[in-house]
Amino acid sequence: MPKRLTIIGSGPSGLTAAIYAARANMEPLLFEGFQKGGMPGGQLMITSEVENFPGFPEGILGPQLMSNMREQAIKHGTSVLMEDIEEVDLNTYPFTLKSISGETYSTDSLIIATGATARRLPLDSEKRLWGKGISACAVCDGALPAFRNKELAVIGGGDTALEEALHLTQFASKVYIIHRRDELRASKVMQKRVLTHPKIQILWNKVVEEFIGETQLSSLILRDTATSETSELSVVGAFEAIGHVPNTGFLNGQLEVDELGYIKTVPGSTKTSIEGVFASGDVQDHQFRQAVTAAGSGCMAATEAERWLQERAGL
């Protein structure tokens, strides 16, 4: 017998959807992933202190928050499998899913909450100091005590990079934007705001060659793309804003996506281009990318899936 609801993804969105669906007696099956698109629990598993998730005035460690949400989902009746889904067939009903171990599953409705993976610099020193001064989210981490009134860097040249730099000016003493070219890719409005901001300095034609620090980031080694000369920049925080990749490869183009590859949903809804299939969290949101917004859309997806199944049963 097919499951009534299957959820792919175990970040804030997938686990919130599981909690709501389980409490509605839908007995959801959740694939939390294993290797593809990051680790089980999503990007919060590599985030240290989370200070902006409601209900935790003293903050909470990212892995602990995800552990709490997973435990809550299981407590209410969610079945969790540590498996990657390799492919799905959304052209037949019930929908079928195939895991990386070769098992096949059938489901009446599906929530895709696989998130997006931040593009990162392919440096050993980056991996070693990730979460120790290096982050991919200034909104998430920029207000941490370790960064307040200190010099920080943002790597990138698009709208996201400039937005992150402007956000950091609320806390930092100075913000450097490190850009590999001699002109920005961002919109003219964002460029004007950055270029006229007294706390922001753009370092043109620069790329990061190395992150320096023993247990915490202390500086960056930069290479000039025009002259190949290297220099050292002292900063205690570096925020990579070089884009995200939505984790949708397993869909094999069966759902409609936007120009950036994110799943398209009906405005104000989590409904996708196929009835009975819903998308929530960062896999369909490239604007906010926050744990709390992902959790909110997970709630929406579970509620919409329940209503859709009820309407279908009533036909």
The CA-based angle 314-265-315, given to 5 degrees, is 10
Give the rounded percent of residues in the chain with a pLDDT score beyond 70. Answer: 97
DSSP string computed for 225-274: TTT--EEEEE-SEEEE-S-EEES-GGGTT-S-B-TTSPBP--TTS-B-SS
Instruction: Write down the pLDDT at residue 113.
Output: 97
Residues of the domain holding 184? 124-240
**β-bridge partners, 201:** 176
Instruction: Write down the pLDDT at residue 37.
Output: 57
Domain of residue 265, CATH code: 3.50.50.60
Give residue-wise pLDDT tens across range 108-161.
999 999 999 888 999 999 999 999 999 998 988 899 899 999 999 999 999 889
Q: How far apart are the first and last CA of the chain?
A: 20
**Same domain for 100 and 248?**
yes
Instruction: Write down the pLDDT at residue 38.
Output: 56
Counting the structural domains of the chain, the total is: 2
What residues are labeled active site?
137, 140-141
Q: CA 229, CA 162: separation in Å to the nearest integer?
A: 25
**Same domain for 129 and 221?**
yes
Q: CA 9, CA 6: separation in Å to the nearest integer?
A: 10
- Which of 240, 264, 287 is the C-terminal boundary of a domain? 240
- Which of 189, 207, 240 is the C-terminal boundary of a domain? 240
Tell which residue, 164, 20, 7, has the closest CA to residue 85: 7
Is 1 contained in some domain?
Answer: no
Strand pairing class (6-8; 29-31): parallel
- Computed over every residue of the chain, the mean pLDDT equals 94
